[in-house]
Structure 1
Amino acid sequence: MPLPSSETIAAKAHLLPLLRAALKAVNGHRFEEAEKLIASILEQDPGMADAVHARAHIALARGDLAQAEALARQAIALDFHYESYHITLSQALLGQRKLEEAKQSAGIALGLNTKSPEAYMALAEVFQAENDLQSAHNVLRQGKQFNVDHPEIRCRLGNIEAALGNMDMALTYYQQAMLARPDNSLYRILYARSLRKRRLKRPNPTLVATVLPLLGQPGVSPRDLTGIMEGALMLDGGIQSLLGVMDMPTERLAGIMAAPEFPRLSENELLLRWLKFGEVVHPGLENLCAALRRAALWLALGKPAALAAHVVWLDALAARNFHADYLDPETPEERERLAILDRHLAAVIAAGQLPDAAHLALYATYRPLYRRADAEALAALRWPGSIAELRRVQLDEPLYERQLIATLPNATPIEDATSLLVREMYEESPFPRWNQPIIGFNATVGQMVRSALPLQRLPGTKIDHPDVLVAGCGTGMHAIIAATNYSNSKVLAVDLSRASLAYGKRKTLELGIKNIEFAQADILKLGQLPQRFDVIECFGVLHHMREPLAGLKQLAMLLKPDGYMMLGLYSEVGRHDVVLARQLIAAHGYKDTLDDIRRFRADLPKLDPELCTRLRNSLAFYNLPDFRDLVFHRQEHRYYPEQLGDLARDAGLRFLGFDFSEPQLLRSYTADYPDDPQAVNLSHWTEFERRHPNIFSNCFRFWLDKHV
């Protein structure tokens, strides 16, 4: 929230310190503190418009749109000539879908200050709400003329270009915003997302140089960069030369690796960073990694001195394989040779010495170091800096997680047979295993829900310190996002798997996040908890229960009367290919074991090439826990949209709407069904999904409340 106008400052100078403190508290979402300061100001000067406007800003952030409107009008009555008041009024009216009044207020703000970027953006928001994207685009273009370097205007232009399908222009605007404010995580994220469907077909060093530093940046998903990174790798001369020889006998490939002219993969920054942060998706690159690993194993036993030149890229490959949970299949010959290498390492470690770095890195491309019987002894040895990252990822962190397991409380007993079966699966394969820093956006509950459900007219809320439950938190990513999304929140994150919880707790400690408590619990028993929650998030969990409704009823018991719940459930239509894969698994007798999961994935191109091609479009295909969760899960329910309403009603809840990361899906629906302006008719959604079968291919993501 901006400081008041210079005229106001001059007239109210004696109250300025209090006002500055109040605005700082507002911007920090410390609303109770801000309200006390504002009350003190208004006691001394009831007509101070900026103090009244600050109250309007608080009401807007909380989602109390009617109150925000009333307070903004009061501030305008006290001082008509400050455009910020009219912008706040426009936003309050927009949230209530009073679009003509909102447009008028934004226009007044623009008339008061024709250079105000906030006024241009407010007016563009109204046009967007009317689905008049061209007018919104024109307004922002006009605003850009007065604010040439304003990154937020460029970002919003990117959003509109993306909605219009002009992805080249969207990419340009997002890149401009990101370069203007490289510290802004949202701009980085949007820029990366705009690259999601791009495939690099010819060399583009400038683009690659821009993208490469994004790997490892908070919030940026490496999956968005796959087409650029792997396109660049497949165009790399060294990689191309290896693609031509990777199918030759392993001994011959090992001989090529020992030759001085072998490509210097350990100096290929693109390859090293992608192996450490990304997921290998391209079949050619995937097969090359497996072939080079196999040849390196032959080299280690035949010419061990020659292996030293490969330690750096083997270290990076070990990181990729560790995070993919060793998805690649192994030949019997590989296992025999790996056993020899294993015995060699064990003998060296037993003698109190650290094995050769290249041998350790090579072994770690096949097996995680922390699962070795001598892992504790290995961790006690001094390691060279060249493989310090290998030690951290494969020894120190997993061994620390083992210690953390003992510190995790049990919030409920786990007695249900299906729950015990699912727990066993996730103890073996914690899901998902992630290494990318993630963040949320520090918003109020009202702001979060309004952003998720832009078409709804929801009551305001004064939840300034929300209690949040993440039911089925897995390895903590969801819990950390919730803890950083909801301002001033306290998060309880529960899961069946202690291995997954320990992973999440370690990541939380690593990131310095202090508002999450982890506990082992079964959703079927959560009703016995004494706490009640303002927000409950349960994504991708209930559909793995024997009776999802029973779990949902337990969650409904824990939801406060004015709280909100977000669920993620599988779609019957969206999981069509998964159902076909499960039928193949059953028909050919594959078991839910790690070896059979790897074997089925390797066999799939022969069993059903077309199905394999479609499943490869799912990024769950590229690491073992994800792939196991995709097609081998021991328990799964799927739904049509119409069934979601019944499920909600049976639990005493109300369906509020679907939450889409891509707003054009919602616009497409409302264009097809103008009789459903709030997009809550689930019969319509069932029809819409049949025509667009991929819109819920991951999950339905939707919100509920208790209001009836």
Structure 2
Amino acid sequence: MPDSDDQPSDLARLQAAAEAAAQSGDLAQAIALAQRVIAIDFRQPASHITLGQVHLAQGELAAAHQSFGTALVLDQTLIDAHIGLIRTSIMGGDLTTAQALLANALQLAPNHGELRFQAGLLLQRLRHPAAAVQNFALALRAAPDSPRYRSAFAYSLQGMQVAKPEPGLIALILPLLGQPGIDPRWVAGIVETSLLYEPQLAPLLTADDIAPADLVRQLETGDFPALQDNPLLLAWLQHGFTAEPRLERLYTALRRAALPLAVRCPEALTRHRLWLAALALRNFLAEYVDAESTEELVLLTQLDALIGADVDASRLPAPERLVLYGCYRPLGSRADAEWLAGLAWPAELAELKRRQLDEPLIERRIAAELPAFTAIDDAVSQTVREMYEQSPFPRWDQPMLPPSQTVEMRLRAALPRAKLPPLRIEAPRVLIAGCGTGLQAIIAALAYHRSEVLALDLSRASLAYGKRKAAELGFSNIRFGQADILKLGQLTERFDVIESFGVLHHLQDPAAGLAQLVSLLKPGGVMLLGLYSEVARRDVVAARDLIARHGFGDTPAEIRRFRAEVEQLDPALGGRLKRFSAFRAMSDLRDLVFHRQEHRYTPEQLSVLIAGTGLRFLGFDLEQPGMLEAYASAYPDDAECTDFAHWAEFEQQHPSLFANCFRFWLYKPPSYKPLSCPPQHRNPSG
């Protein structure tokens, strides 16, 4: 019973404060408040649940199990307690128990969104993708505005296609496009196979077989499907990704047919303006990776001159001409871009103007004002910088913003089997070394509770994109600046967390760059690194060899030529490369196979590299659901999942496991002393 001086309203306020502390990442305060409520009145299940959630965040699975179990003894209907036990079992690797607990909970609340969400996660780990999709769809129907449910549902659709029209599925997917955290690549198979059944597109899918003059005639006379009335096509084009070869050929044929009309009679394209503007956005986001004929280049020169003549006469060029120019080249790259941006455009072209003119011009101004933290005089660094100035990487729009967590909470989630050291880091100072276009920095600025982030990169164009997006999303705890990792030792700041993903392997000497980062990491701090896998990049290595043998350059024109010819030069390799999502955009493809500098590693070589730092390896942060459990099952002697020899064997059995790099965490002990004679670096590959 509660003490006589403690009213129920007081307990409710204490419990609300405990929940708020847990949400904000103040776990010590959350524990103290929840325990105070329990000491006053043990029969308060909400406090036991809060205590269980904090224990779970700290990786204390036995204590979490006890707290959630106590809450259920007090009230068997508490779904949050059921969910806590399910999550505890999953984190402990006991998937059989998690299944049984989930079945019991679903009997109580079969339509509960979070239960269905947890069911989807569990089924992914158990490698039942179709059942996972069904449960994520049920979670999304229960809570359509949940970013977690939207993202999980879209992610679960990767690689899936439809064999017939599925209007119910499309009705779920269509509102997701453009939402934060939704990568169009996840739903490409479903959307694009659905488009093949659309009545407006079906007659055009043989566009390659239609004489070009006939296609021009159809556009000019109006004897052409009303593509502007297809919401799925318009939405999909505006997100830039195309994986289906028939659709890519169609888009290329339509652009080619519309170009001569834009030159000689742009008014004939007025009725097509809406879908052509969407096509211009698609081509802009794909960075004009599609093949271009000699005839198109001649017409494009004429189109450029016509637009220029209107600008010289202070006239707004025909909107259709601007749209077609945007289908071939970014409007923001024109010398008259500032003048064009100052004009009033038709309302249906507002999005095209924003993406191709307004935002790039803002970024140009930002790039000129960015501070330089170090000089960039290393020859390889200069070469890499030039590449990313031309092709800022990666391209992204709306990120999935994570919950704010302490450093310890984040690592507990990433490395559920690791025996982590105490990580009592408050208000962490975070360095993103090689931030590219800023996505990683923005995620870190929110993911680490009360953090201050310094985001550095070689490329001003990439940094400017990141800084613009950070301001757009309301972040004020990120500083952006230009710097070379090889010179970061000049910085006087020290950091609790350093992230450098997909960067060190582009240095001439990755170990030298890593040594610079180690010197900036505070004792007791952690580092997240991403490095290329030798096994996962076998096809990339073969492509690089093919490029070298046939003398392809790395200009946009040469990349387009390689893309068009690779299947003729090596049909098997070309077929495999086309399955890479990076094949669909210029900067992605350049980064994949045309990068001017890269190294790759095996797990054993990673072991040597890490040993040279004196830091402790905490574990691999895996992206593929269920793979950590599969590894643990295969190697039960490696409880913390940190044996590099075992990982080398496991990677040979699962060669795509580290397709997006080895992603792993390191720890700098408080007693750290620099190695007096670190191992000499040997380039693992180049």
Pick the TM interval, shorter chain. over 0.9
Quote the Cα distance in structure 2 between the aligned partners of 1:524 and 1:683.
30
Q: Secondary structure at the match of 1:277?
A: coil
CA contact (8 A) 2:25 2:406 kept: no
Matched residue, 2:341: 379
CA contact (8 A) 1:95 1:457 kept: no
Q: What is the deviation of 1:451?
A: 0.5
Quote the Cα distance in structure 1 between the aligned partners of 2:56 and 2:447.
23
Q: Which of the residues 257, 261, 269 maps onto 1:295?
A: 257
Matched residue, 1:160: 122
1:370 pairs with 2:316: no
Map of 1:291-690 to 2, 5 A cutoff? 291-690=253-652
CA contact (8 A) 1:352 1:381 kept: no
Map of 1:194-209 to 2, 5 A cutoff? 194-209=156-171
Q: What is the deviation of 1:256?
A: 2.0
Letter in 2 for 1:511: L
1:706 pairs with 2:668: yes
Matched residue, 2:653: 691
Quote the Cα distance in structure 2 between the aligned partners of 1:561 and 1:149.
48
Matched residue, 1:29: 24
1:180 pairs with 2:142: yes
Q: Which moved more, 1:84-93 or 1:211-220?
A: 84-93
Quote the Cα distance in structure 1 between the aligned partners of 2:4 and 2:220.
75
Letter in 2 for 1:358: E
Q: Secondary structure at the match of 1:567?
A: strand
Quote the Cα distance in structure 2 between the aligned partners of 1:30 and 1:143.
28
Tell me the C-alpha RMSD between the 2 structures: 2.3
Quote the Cα distance in structure 2 between the aligned partners of 1:56 and 1:689.
46
Quote the Cα distance in structure 2 between the aligned partners of 1:403 and 1:671.
54
Q: What is the deviation of 1:640?
A: 0.1
Q: Secondary structure at the match of 1:507?
A: helix
Q: Secondary structure at the match of 1:703?
A: strand
Q: What is the deviation of 1:432?
A: 1.7
Q: Which moved more, 1:328-337 or 1:452-461?
A: 452-461
Q: What is the deviation of 1:146?
A: 2.5
Q: What is the deviation of 1:56?
A: 7.2
Cα gap change, 1:96 to 1:372, in 2 (>3 Å)? closer
Quote the Cα distance in structure 2 between the aligned partners of 1:440 and 1:132.
26
Q: What is the deviation of 1:434?
A: 2.2
Q: TM-score, normalised by structure 1?
A: 0.90
CA contact (8 A) 1:465 1:490 kept: yes
For each residue in 1:145-178, what CA deviation from the matched residue of structure 2 results, as whole angstroms up to 9, or x when unmatched? 3334432111101111222222232222212222
Q: Which moved more, 1:80-89 or 1:110-119?
A: 80-89
Q: What is the deviation of 1:94?
A: 6.0
Matched residue, 2:678: none
Q: Which moved more, 1:499-508 or 1:254-263?
A: 254-263
Matched residue, 1:127: 89
Q: Secondary structure at the match of 1:381?
A: coil
CA contact (8 A) 2:240 2:281 kept: no
Letter in 2 for 1:55: A
Q: Secondary structure at the match of 1:365?
A: helix
Matched residue, 1:264: 226
CA contact (8 A) 2:22 2:50 kept: no
Quote the Cα distance in structure 2 between the aligned partners of 1:609 and 1:283.
15
Q: What is the deviation of 1:462?
A: 2.8
Matched residue, 1:60: none
Cα gap change, 1:307 to 1:101, in 2 (>3 Å)? closer
Gapped runs of 5+ residues in structure 2?
673-686
Quote the Cα distance in structure 1 between the aligned partners of 2:91 and 2:266.
66
Cα gap change, 1:25 to 1:118, in 2 (>3 Å)? closer
Q: What is the deviation of 1:104?
A: 4.7
Letter in 1 for 2:294: P
Q: What is the deviation of 1:11?
A: 2.0
Quote the Cα distance in structure 2 between the aligned partners of 1:392 and 1:303.
26
Quote the Cα distance in structure 2 between the aligned partners of 1:533 and 1:106.
36
Quote the Cα distance in structure 2 between the aligned partners of 1:523 and 1:220.
31
Matched residue, 2:196: 234
Quote the Cα distance in structure 2 between the aligned partners of 1:120 and 1:489.
33
Gapped runs of 5+ residues in structure 1?
1-5, 39-52, 58-71
Q: Secondary structure at the match of 1:237?
A: coil
Cα gap change, 1:187 to 1:21, in 2 (>3 Å)? closer
Quote the Cα distance in structure 2 between the aligned partners of 1:193 and 1:703.
24
Map of 1:91-102 to 2, 5 A cutoff? none
Letter in 2 for 1:260: G
1:55 pairs with 2:32: yes
Cα gap change, 1:689 to 1:21, in 2 (>3 Å)? closer
Q: Which moved more, 1:283-292 or 1:78-87?
A: 78-87
Q: Secondary structure at the match of 2:339?
A: helix
CA contact (8 A) 1:423 1:496 kept: yes
Q: Secondary structure at the match of 1:651?
A: coil
Quote the Cα distance in structure 2 between the aligned partners of 1:341 and 1:96.
62
Q: Secondary structure at the match of 1:590?
A: coil
Quote the Cα distance in structure 2 between the aligned partners of 1:109 and 1:25.
19
Q: Say how many residue pairs are matched.
A: 670
Quote the Cα distance in structure 2 between the aligned partners of 1:94 and 1:273.
40
Q: What is the deviation of 1:30?
A: 6.8
Q: What is the deviation of 1:645?
A: 1.8
Q: What is the deviation of 1:522?
A: 0.5
Q: Secondary structure at the match of 2:196?
A: helix
Q: What is the deviation of 1:278?
A: 4.1
Quote the Cα distance in structure 2 between the aligned partners of 1:353 and 1:497.
36
Matched residue, 2:99: 137
Q: Which moved more, 1:303-312 or 1:628-637?
A: 303-312
Matched residue, 2:682: none
Cα gap change, 1:374 to 1:687, in 2 (>3 Å)? same
Q: TM-score, normalised by structure 2?
A: 0.93
Cα gap change, 1:75 to 1:649, in 2 (>3 Å)? farther
CA contact (8 A) 2:280 2:323 kept: yes
Cα gap change, 1:586 to 1:8, in 2 (>3 Å)? farther
Q: Secondary structure at the match of 1:626?
A: helix
